[in-house]
Structure 1
Amino acid sequence: METIRKCAPTKAILIGEHFVVHGEKAIAMPAKPLNRAILQEKGKESSLRIIGKTGEAIFEAGGKTSGQKVLHSFGQIYFAILKRKGIKQHKGIAITLKYSGAPKGMGNSASLACAAAKALCGYFKIKPTNAELFSLVQLSEKIAHSNPSGIDAKTIVEGKAQVFQRGKGKKPARFQAIRINLPKECSFLAINSAKNKPPAKTSLLVEKFSRLVKSAEGKKATAEYRRIFTSFLREIKKKSPNPKTLGELMNENHSLLRAGGVSSASIEKAIAILARQPSVYGAKLTGAGGEGGAVLALASKKEEGNIRRALAKSGLKSYHL
């Protein structure tokens, strides 16, 4: 019985969430929490079974789909590969998805889709280019998120940091792969603020932040963000970035996001704990935010263990990026 194991990184937005929806630039990087897909030959002939954390879905080569709706997006990858190869019959296969536990807002859906696409391509003897793999992941993302920007898929598929700007009208989104450098003595941590609470809906958070952008304070906030973005990009591209400068810019970015109403009590609690640690240079929400959202912190490598223990005492899980 053939078994194929594939993995894909998650992603973290370093700066620019929500502002990017309104045409501003953002920076994202691939992150170490890896999601995995394990493909095995088993099950009904000419079908794919996706086994997730809380259920499963079955896709038949003829086009029939059944099972948990949250997993239906993976069927788009399967059907696209069958069409490309002209396959109508094959041995039954199943893919078990192994979720890393990375917090909401770190591109888990795109990461799992990428791992599954790699496994399916491997099984059907396809060697996809990055562009082809990106297209497959986006097929899944369009079902999962309706109108995905592509930043998650691009960052995860290429495994490189990206400067991203959403397209306007018929103009496509713009991606630019960049090399970023962390201060040698620092690392990024991602913190899950959820503590078993249901996460806030991204669409509602986007709508809430849009009200700030459209308000009288919107132009001022956007101009301030542009200054923060320009300074952050310039600093993180240096050979030896200044951790205090990066941390201060992260804090300033978070203040704008908080003013836009997309932070939450759980995120602010995590940031308050981090602020009490002298070896944390800065922290901000990453992703959409809201209740149960993720926090990104720039911290000293030497003190990372102490920082993570302080978070754990309050029931907060953290991940080294």
Structure 2
Amino acid sequence: MTRTGYGESNGKIILVGEHAVTFGEPAIAIPFSSGKVKVEIAEMPELAVSTMISDVYEGEVEHAPEHLHALISRFEAESHIESPIMIKIEAKLPPSRGLGSSAAVAVAFTRAAFDFLDKPLSDEELIEHVNWAEMIAHGKPSGIDAQTIVSNQPTWFQKGVFTSLESLRIPGYMVVLDTGIKGNTKEAVRDVHELVNNNKENKQFIDRIGQLVYSANQAINMRNFDALAEIFNECQSYLATLTVSHPKIDKLLNAAKQAGAVAGKLTGSGRGGSVITLVKDYATAEKVVNAVTKAGAHHTWIESLGG
């Protein structure tokens, strides 16, 4: 009988604290349940070589994008897989949008690999595998993507320390928008640090974002939608001042607010990437989706805030 393995995962969203987190301030990340990734592995003796099928690449594993090639090759070598395998990756997460795509694929693949081997997999071992893959994809990852995706819990992150938080139970919805523009995290982070180093007055915006992360945690615990909405809008104004917004982000935020969104901000490193907006009910969420799609959003997702 042909050996097979299956694994799935979802993405992550930085709720609040991006950029300030690189100065030692805290950030909060949450699981992005609409951004699903599914991976299937099957033994295929009839194939000449291991092959993969995905949205971003289709063909021999040997010529796959570097981080995928490394992940699959490591699995084949460490597990002494002799027969060629077929890997199918179905991802509802566009890459380079700040939604944890590469970590989500690594989580789903590792789960599928251990299922294929019929071996147990602890969260600690899973995180180790994912962070190894993330090193290849990003150089020096913070680990927040792996931690949030594996735990599937909101996560408080500060100076390399992760703390799981209670699940969100706020009445309302979040509409997540893809600008269609790939972000460049390294460049954005470098530019913000230069901005602060060259003008110490800019440090006040970093400090204030840090304070707002504590306020956001309070708002989450109190299930206070309006307080969280105010925090979103204030954060976005500081991120724009720190030069990490983008005309497309501004355009989508304006369209969302005209359609009934109460608040919105970029999520991740900015200058493209993704945007998160808050709405009070599902009907408004659907109006926002229609409006931002007309305004040029490439993908949209509606997430419940758990209330």
Match of 2:74 in 1: 79
String of CA shifts for 1:182-231, please: whole Å, max 9, x gaps.
422x011210111xx5x242211111111233222233112212221111
Q: When the two structures are superposed, what TM-score results if normalisation uses the length of structure 2?
A: 0.89
Count matched residues.
297
Instruction: Report the more deviating stretch, 265-274 or 220-229.
Output: 220-229
Indicate if the aligned counterparts of 1:9 and 1:35 stay in contact, CA closer than 8 A.
Answer: yes
The 1:80/1:55 distance shift into structure 2, 3 A limit, reads closer
The AA in structure 2 aligned to 1:228 is: L
Matched, 1:174 2:161: yes
The 1:12/1:242 distance shift into structure 2, 3 A limit, reads same
1:156 aligned to which of 142, 146, 149: 149
Ranges in structure 1 where 5+ consecutive residues have no aligned partner: 60-65, 167-172
Indicate if the aligned counterparts of 2:75 and 2:113 stay in contact, CA closer than 8 A.
Answer: no
Matched, 1:116 2:100: no
TM-superposed deviation, 1:97: 1.3
Match of 2:193 in 1: 210
1:249 aligned to which of 216, 231, 245: 231
1:67 aligned to which of 63, 66, 83: 63
TM-superposed deviation, 1:156: 0.5
The 1:101/1:79 distance shift into structure 2, 3 A limit, reads closer
What is the alpha-carbon distance in structure 2 between the residues aligned to residue 106 and residue 78 of structure 1? 25
Match of 1:170 in 2: none
Indicate if the aligned counterparts of 1:74 and 1:113 stay in contact, CA closer than 8 A.
Answer: no
What is the alpha-carbon distance in structure 2 between the residues aligned to residue 149 and residue 44 of structure 1? 41
String of CA shifts for 1:232-265, please: whole Å, max 9, x gaps.
1111122xx2222110101111111111111111
Matched, 1:93 2:79: no
The 1:232/1:89 distance shift into structure 2, 3 A limit, reads closer
Could you say what secondary structure the match of 1:217 adopts?
Answer: helix
Match of 2:278 in 1: 298
RMSD: 2.2
The AA in structure 2 aligned to 1:15 is: V
What is the alpha-carbon distance in structure 2 between the residues aligned to residue 55 and residue 178 of structure 1? 36
TM-superposed deviation, 1:40: 1.5
The percentage of counterpart residues that share the same residue type is 26
Match of 1:169 in 2: none
Q: Which has the higher helix share?
A: 2
TM-superposed deviation, 1:307: 1.6
Match of 1:18 in 2: 19
What is the alpha-carbon distance in structure 2 between the residues aligned to residue 50 and residue 252 of structure 1? 44
Indicate if the aligned counterparts of 2:131 and 2:141 stay in contact, CA closer than 8 A.
Answer: yes
Matched, 1:189 2:190: no
The 1:227/1:164 distance shift into structure 2, 3 A limit, reads same
Instruction: Report the more deviating stretch, 114-123 or 48-57.
Output: 48-57
Match of 1:9 in 2: 10
